[in-house]
Structure 1
Amino acid sequence: MRFKKRRLLQMFLYTSVFSIVVPLFLLPVWSFSSRWTWPHLAPEGFSLRAVEELLGPHNHVLSVLLSSMGLSFIVAVLAAVIGMMTARALVFYDFKGKSLVSFGTILPIIVPGTAFAMGIHVVFIHLGLADTFLGVILVHLIYALPYTVNIMTDLTHAVGKTLETQAQVLGVPPGKAFFYVTLPLIMPGMMSAASMGYIISFSQYFLTLMIGGGKVKTLTIVMIPFIQGGDRTIASAYALLFILSTMIVFVLIELCMKKFVFWYGKMD
């Protein structure tokens, strides 16, 4: 019986890996193919049209990519920090409206995306945040917080406050007790929360289009029309750029957080 369960689990694992890896390997092939129709197993021709699209000076793809990465990186860091502070408040403290705050952290997930975007757009128009870079950051942050808060809440429950309290009993100030004791323990969760916040922000299309009003361009805004239009060559090239840039940012997020802990550890 155990052998059968193990075989089923292995088959499920191999199938999952196969369904993820194969499309990734096909993206570079599609990016350089000029024509690939059914039932041919290989492209019927190759071209550099996708390279010209990405590197062409008229498209400003590099500036759009850097702007998108910067925007989503800001959202990721803010979402991780706010998620951590919110999780600590929900886990360690009792205050009026605690259940309302806890429920509010999942509202962006419960409310349909279209209704949320149209409602927040009206609010941002009155606040002067519509069609601005700051407005897009804020709406992405609102949409990412439910995920980061939930990640950090589970981790905060698991880590607890015992070690931090012991450090304070021994005379360590509360701030240093948190940074020296608790922060290293929750850093993996902070990295996961930041990564989740980044990918949510980086992949947003409708919210960015609605709040940004077409003035704030991201890689997703440029990529989606090619996917919807059926241009698989250009769409694959953009998708490949999307994946590679995301992997680079994930490495940067990890390095930045480790550098921050190391820098604070050197302070008196």
Structure 2
Amino acid sequence: MIVDTSLFTRWVKLTPSILITLLLVPVVAGLLGVILPAFGWLPALGEDSVDFRGFKALFQTPGFVTMLTLSFSTSFISTFFAVILSILILGNYFDSKLLGHIQKLLGPILVIPHAAAAIAIGFLIAPSGLIMRLFSPWLSGAELPPDILLPNDPLGFSIILGLTLKELPFILLMAMAAMQQKEIKQTIEGQYKVALSLGYYPFTSFCKAVLPILYPFMRLPIFAILAYSSASIEIPLILGPNTPPTLAVAIMQWFNDVDLHLRIQASAGALVQVILTLCVLFTWWLLEQCVKRFCLSRLINGRRTYADMTWKFLTHCITLLVLFAIVLALIGLVLWSFAGYWSFPKAYPDQLVTLHWQSALQQLPEIINDTILVALAATGIALFLALFTLEAEQQRRTQLSSVASLMIYLPLLVPSIAFLFGIVWVKEIIGVNAVFSMVVVGHLLFVMPYVFLSLATSYRKLDLRYAKVAASLGCSPWSVFYSVKLPQLMPPILFSSALGLAISFSQYLPTLLLGGGRINTLTTEAVAIASGASRRISAVYVIIQLLLPAFGFILAWLIPKLFFRPRC
């Protein structure tokens, strides 16, 4: 494959700037694009005066304080639970082979779309859900579904459960990725062994010797999930209350209302959502400072154990409970997708039918086609930019600056509901009608950070001796990149591609807003169906949502085995 070497070198040098620009400009433009409508300036609707009408209408909305409280509490509490559970699992299985098995189990769970996870959890905890069926009537004594409001409870317990189960794998995998870095691994393993040799119990050794070193590497992922959960749409929309909903869900409803003047109120709400997210992040920072002050003396007090056996038993129970819930949710989805008549409290359907699959499959080809095309486009662009940016790092022999690295994760740290609305305004002002391209750009904002993160470690650990040998033999930079580096990186490239596809498959809000209803994906259809259609049809859509990313990861695992295995 012949490529102009000078052209390749110029592209490599420019790619980091292009990547940062593609991520920074839409987010900043989106935030700027939502500010003017929030203050009443919306020429498209004949509103050309700047005032506070939008904020006034927002503050007078019935249940506005409840919206704020619900958004704040569910995001903060779910993240707190997820972090505590992560620490328990990491601490109690730190020197055990079980941690590797847990990592393998959590990987596929991480890429389950939020909408699919919410629907599956709703099937479990509903009054007529699988959990109640398993314990009725022999334990609960119920012959009819109990009169309890689950999901959609007003206090948001269902949202907290859904967010916690989705956040836990992400925090664990980010922590494990940090623990695998050579310098960090050597440091924490050395500290852990020293603590054990001094008579500290395993979990206490982890908390005193390992966690203070590891936690700084967990902070950015934790802040990302705090920002996401405070402005989440899919899980609160499916599991949360409706009167009133969380602030993010209310903003989306106002934006999609037939009364276009409500968009001024929605824009004001988007700015308030940004402030709310900052408050959540600041509150977490305050919690960190309190924990630091409270625990500093305990780190050096010489106490060897803090009820280690109790924590270990509790961790075993929680881990088994989480795995049981995941397995039960998958079983429930399969049963509901084939269920005919299924009376309560029977744990198994009275009859199994394929009618729901036949009905869904008649409508799915076009939806699946759009889903895959958008995902392939977004993932392909993200992969190209990530590879060239990492190649630029090696050519310059310096990694991206901390500011540039932060810019890559900016779309994960800023509430998406705020800047996506702004992008819609900017798109309408400019007059852009390329719906497919806009949806791809929207997906790229969220795919890019994950693809870059998953590729960066492998690329930076690449053995450069082969590249130096190839260069010494007269190979051009392009030949070294294409013929030497890429073959070595094929397994992580395939994994990053599968991860990018999975992230794109799960995007709901970018597709809904930037597509304007003209591009339907599995996620948008699943959420729409979950809101009012048959539970059985919803189960079919969720299973297909799970199968698509699973198929991508199977290919990513299988292709290196078949085509890149050593040959005699």
Q: TM-score range by the shorter chain?
A: 0.7 to 0.9
Matched with 1:109 is 412
Mapped pair 1:27 → 2:27: no
Map 1:160-171 → 2, pairs under 5 A: 161-171=464-474
For structure 1, the 5+ residue unaligned runs are 262-268
- The answer on whether the counterparts of 1:131 and 1:211 sit within 8 Å (CA) in structure 2 is no
Displacement, 1:228?
2.9
1:221-244 CA distance string (max 9 Å, x none): 111122233732111111112222
Mapped pair 1:218 → 2:524: no
Displacement, 1:107?
0.3
Give the one of 15, 18, 40 matched to 2:346: 40
- The answer on whether the counterparts of 1:32 and 1:233 sit within 8 Å (CA) in structure 2 is yes
Give the one of 365, 380, 394 matched to 1:62: 365
1:113-161 CA distance string (max 9 Å, x none): 2112112222333444456111101110121111111222222221153
Displacement, 1:46?
4.3
Displacement, 1:170?
2.5
1:81-135 CA distance string (max 9 Å, x none): 212222333455279x944432210100100121121122223334444561111
**Amino acid aligned to 2:326:** I
| C-alpha distance in structure 2 between counterparts of 1:77 and 1:191, whole Å | 11
Distance change >3 Å, CA 89–CA 174, structure 1 → 2:
closer
Q: Which moved more, 1:21-30 or 1:197-206?
A: 21-30
- What SS class does the counterpart of residue 31 from structure 1 fall into? helix
- What SS class does the counterpart of residue 25 from structure 1 fall into? helix
- The answer on whether the counterparts of 1:131 and 1:215 sit within 8 Å (CA) in structure 2 is no
Q: Which moved more, 1:147-156 or 1:45-54?
A: 45-54
Q: What TM-score do you get using the length of structure 1 for normalisation?
A: 0.80
1:38-58 CA distance string (max 9 Å, x none): 4321124444441243134xx
Q: What TM-score do you get using the length of structure 2 for normalisation?
A: 0.40
Give the one of 425, 446, 451 matched to 1:143: 446
Displacement, 1:204?
0.8
**Amino acid aligned to 2:497:** A
| C-alpha distance in structure 2 between counterparts of 1:92 and 1:16, whole Å | 45
- What SS class does the counterpart of residue 531 from structure 2 fall into? helix
Map 1:171-182 → 2, pairs under 5 A: 171-182=474-485
Matched with 1:265 is none
Give the one of 38, 42, 51 matched to 2:357: 51
Distance change >3 Å, CA 128–CA 34, structure 1 → 2:
farther
| C-alpha distance in structure 1 between counterparts of 2:435 and 2:555, whole Å | 26
Matched with 1:93 is 396
- The answer on whether the counterparts of 1:64 and 1:217 sit within 8 Å (CA) in structure 2 is yes
Instruction: Calculate percent identity across the aligned residue pairs.
Output: 27
| C-alpha distance in structure 2 between counterparts of 1:129 and 1:250, whole Å | 35
Displacement, 1:255?
7.6
- The answer on whether the counterparts of 1:131 and 1:212 sit within 8 Å (CA) in structure 2 is no
- The answer on whether the counterparts of 2:379 and 2:497 sit within 8 Å (CA) in structure 1 is yes
| C-alpha distance in structure 2 between counterparts of 1:245 and 1:155, whole Å | 25
RMSD: 3.3
Q: Which has the larger radius of gyration?
A: 2
- What SS class does the counterpart of residue 328 from structure 2 fall into? helix
**Amino acid aligned to 1:42:** Y
For structure 2, the 5+ residue unaligned runs are 1-200, 203-308
Displacement, 1:27?
2.0
Matched with 2:548 is 245
- The answer on whether the counterparts of 1:191 and 1:253 sit within 8 Å (CA) in structure 2 is yes
Give the one of 123, 140, 143 matched to 2:426: 123
Distance change >3 Å, CA 170–CA 127, structure 1 → 2:
farther
| C-alpha distance in structure 2 between counterparts of 1:255 and 1:46, whole Å | 33
| C-alpha distance in structure 2 between counterparts of 1:167 and 1:232, whole Å | 59
| C-alpha distance in structure 1 between counterparts of 2:560 and 2:380, whole Å | 9
- The answer on whether the counterparts of 1:33 and 1:43 sit within 8 Å (CA) in structure 2 is yes
| C-alpha distance in structure 2 between counterparts of 1:78 and 1:93, whole Å | 22
Displacement, 1:183?
0.9
